[in-house]
């Protein structure tokens, strides 16, 4: 087993660290956020992720994982250092690599033994090459340091499960020594390993995320056409899913993709291509379709209603997807400001995303309207004039059509996740609008 240090305790770093500890490695995670480190030392996860906190507590108790802000101690005698810090989007769409550079310099100035540095963050092609040169430029001690690429393919909400049941582990190396060490580190996971060059590994990550983003945007585009010609996107997706060349995943139409990966990675790859004098027209189209798709229900409702001013608007689901408390690029954050500008009184509900939402929109007067966060769906729906559904949480899917009719002043529902059967909603007396399906 290896002594592993993980830089960063966000989704990538924390999940990786806990899972490495679970298979027997000795792990220490480093972060600059002292409050976060205090919580982690107590076994409290700062992010909502199924199964993560349980494994965190288990491995803390077993002494296989620890957390610190002292990078000097954490880096100096590690066998491998995994970099899992953020690479946020810059205004021009490129990836901000300042956190990667900071960690790289810290490693160079503190490492005291031969070490493999593994870039797990999503980074532009060629970044691992630059990180290796950067470390060598600032290296203090006479030790061997090599850099490898090991992109993650986790889905938020199922990150722990994805780590232990991955379809493959991608490693990008430039030497047999680095490849063999990574193979040994991942050996306890007993998963297929795809070993390629560093640049190919970096490109695999971007290619995968951009392909899935393309698939989502294509289905949303087809859904919009379905509405115009009278077809049902659910039926269309079902028929497509039987084709093995297409598959059944990522065929659900809705109000676009969000989260920390797809929006950022599509823009980053588009920027990378432009830097090399090439235009990725398909990726650009996916970005454009997604931008329009996020507010399609607001535009539909605006045509139906004279104004939102003074209306009670129920918003069910705030996070970009179920199973996470992450609101980054969530459709709710594109639509709620439009509603508030029109003077709506927004009553918002989400089973786990409420605290993060309040950091962005505190309760009370906001713009021309108001915001109130409620603890249950019933309070959001009671006497509401219109309801928007942006996240397909099980709690929301469990609400029967007749509940909308019973509780709402005007049973007018705009469903961005196609949760309900339009015929069932009509039979219950609900005016129902979804994505790519007849309203009946």
Domain ranges (residues) in the chain: 3-194, 205-239+256-290, 294-433
Kindly indicate the confidence band of residue 260, based on its pLDDT and cuts at 50, 70 and 90: confident
Show Cβ contacts of residue 141 under 8 Å, excluding neighbours closer than 6 positions: 111, 112
> CA quadruple 113, 114, 120, 122: dihedral positive or negative?
positive
CATH number for 3-194 (one of 3.40.50.720, 2.40.30.10, 3.40.1190.20, 3.30.70.360): it is 3.40.50.720
| Cα gap 215→289, rounded to integer Å | 11
What global pTM score does this model have? Answer: 0.92
The answer to whether 300 and 361 are in contact (CB under 8 A) is: no
Active site residues: 261
Show Cβ contacts of residue 133 under 8 Å, excluding neighbours closer than 6 positions: none
| Cα gap 345→433, rounded to integer Å | 21
Q: What does the pLDDT read at residue 272?
A: 94
pLDDT at 440 > cutoff 80: no
The third-level CATH classification (topology) of the domain covering 205-239+256-290 is 1.10.1040
pLDDT at 250 > cutoff 90: yes
Residue percentage of the chain with pLDDT more than 90 = 93
| Cα gap 332→320, rounded to integer Å | 8
Q: What does the pLDDT read at residue 431?
A: 97
| Cα gap 131→103, rounded to integer Å | 10
pLDDT at 152 > cutoff 80: yes
Residues 71-90, mean pLDDT to the nearest whole number: 94
Each residue's pLDDT tens digit, 344-388: 999 999 999 999 999 999 999 999 999 999 999 999 999 999 999
Residues 150-172, mean pLDDT to the nearest whole number: 92
Question: Hey, which of 91-95, 167-171, 365-369 has the most confident mean pLDDT?
Answer: 167-171
Residues 203-226, mean pLDDT to the nearest whole number: 97
Between strands 386-389 and 364-366, the pairing is unpaired
Same CATH topology for 205-239+256-290 and 294-433? no
* Burial readout 286-317 (b: 16 or more C-beta within 10 A, e: otherwise): bbebbeebbbbbbeebeeebeebeebbbbbbb
Each residue's pLDDT tens digit, 62-76: 999 999 999 999 999
Residues 181-205, mean pLDDT to the nearest whole number: 97
Q: What does the pLDDT read at residue 439?
A: 77
* 122 HSE (CA, 13 A, CB side): 28
Number of neighbouring beta carbons within 10 Å of residue 34: 9
CATH number belonging to domain 294-433: 3.40.50.720
């Amino acid at each position: 087993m290896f002594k592993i240090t993980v830089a960063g305790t966000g989704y990538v770093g924390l999940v990786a660290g806990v899972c490495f500890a679970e298979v027997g490695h000795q792990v220490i995670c480093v972060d600059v956020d002292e409050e976060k480190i205090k919580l982690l030392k107590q076994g409290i996860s700062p992010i909502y992720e199924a199964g993560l906190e349980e494994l965190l507590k288990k491995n803390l108790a077993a002494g296989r994982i620890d957390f610190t802000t002292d990078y000097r101690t954490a880096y100096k005698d590690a066998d491998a250092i995994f970099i899992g810090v953020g690479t946020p989007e810059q205004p021009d769409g490129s990836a901000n690599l300042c956190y990667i550079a900071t960690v790289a310099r810290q490693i160079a100035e503190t490492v005291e033994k031969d070490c493999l540095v593994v870039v797990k963050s999503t980074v532009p092609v060629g970044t691992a090459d630059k990180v290796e040169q950067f470390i060598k430029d600032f290296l203090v001690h006479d030790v061997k340091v090599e850099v490898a690429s090991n992109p993650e393919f986790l889905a938020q909400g199922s990150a722990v499960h994805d780590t232990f049941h991955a379809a493959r582990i991608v490693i990008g190396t430039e030497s047999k020594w680095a490849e063999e060490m990574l193979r040994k580190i991942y050996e306890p996971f007993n998963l297929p390993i795809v070993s390629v060059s560093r640049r190919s590994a970096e490109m695999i990550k971007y290619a995968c995320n951009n392909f899935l983003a393309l698939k989502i945007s294509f289905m949303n585009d087809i859904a919009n056409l379905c509405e115009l010609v009278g077809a049902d996107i659910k039926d269309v997706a079902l028929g497509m899913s039987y084709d093995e060349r297409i598959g059944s995943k990522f065929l659900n139409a809705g109000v676009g993709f969000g989260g920390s990966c797809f929006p950022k990675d599509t823009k980053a790859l588009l920027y990378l291509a432009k830097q090399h004098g090439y235009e990725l027209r398909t990726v650009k189209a996916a970005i454009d379709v997604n931008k329009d798709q996020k507010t399609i229900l607001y535009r539909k409702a605006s045509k139906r209603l004279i104004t939102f001013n003074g209306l009670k608007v129920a918003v069910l689901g705030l996070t970009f997807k179920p199973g996470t408390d992450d609101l980054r690029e969530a459709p709710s954050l594109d639509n709620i400001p439009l509603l508030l500008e029109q003077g709506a009184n927004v009553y918002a509900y989400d089973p786990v995303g409420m605290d993060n939402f309040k950091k962005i929109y505190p309760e009370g007067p906001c713009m021309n309207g108001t915001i109130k966060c409620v603890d249950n769906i019933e309070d959001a729906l009671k006497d509401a004039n219109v309801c928007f559904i942006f996240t397909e949480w099980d709690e929301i899917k469990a609400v029967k059509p007749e509940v909308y009719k019973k509780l709402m002043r005007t049973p007018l529902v705009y469903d961005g996740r196609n949760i309900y059967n339009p015929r069932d909603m009509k039979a219950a007396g609900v005016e129902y609008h979804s994505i790519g399906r007849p309203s009946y």
